[in-house]
Amino acid sequence: MQVIEEARKLKRYPRAARDNNWEGRTRLRVTYGGDGRRSSIDVVRSSGHELLDREAIDTLGRTDVPLPPALRGRGFTFEIEMIFNLSESASG
């Protein structure tokens, strides 16, 4: 899914989270309306760190991927997990 690839490129590891060695996984639910616009991004499962959860939401908010033709004209929802892992952050 293009949204996942775009989110990987845009994800930032918050400095305060790195400084405190915070890691985690945030599961988000993303909803699109029939007009093709994103209507909500909600935390389904927290990473345990509000800062990481907020960055996950903000990352998805920055994504701008065109909808595939099959999804245009109808609402839909999907879930995505954003992983914050310090060893991955150190490599790029």
| pLDDT one-digit tens code per residue, 21-44 | 999 999 999 999 988 888 999 999
Q: Is 70 helix (H, G, I), strand (E, B) or coil?
A: helix
Q: Which of 51, 43, 59 is nearest to 19 (CA)?
A: 51
Residue 29 CB contacts under 8 Å (≥ 6 apart), including other chains? 40, 41, 42, 44, 77, 78, 79
Q: Is 4 helix (H, G, I), strand (E, B) or coil?
A: helix
The CATH classification number of 2-86 equals 3.30.1150.10
**Average pLDDT over every residue of 6-30:** 94
User: At 88, which helix (H) or strand (E)?
Assistant: helix 86-90
pTM score: 0.86
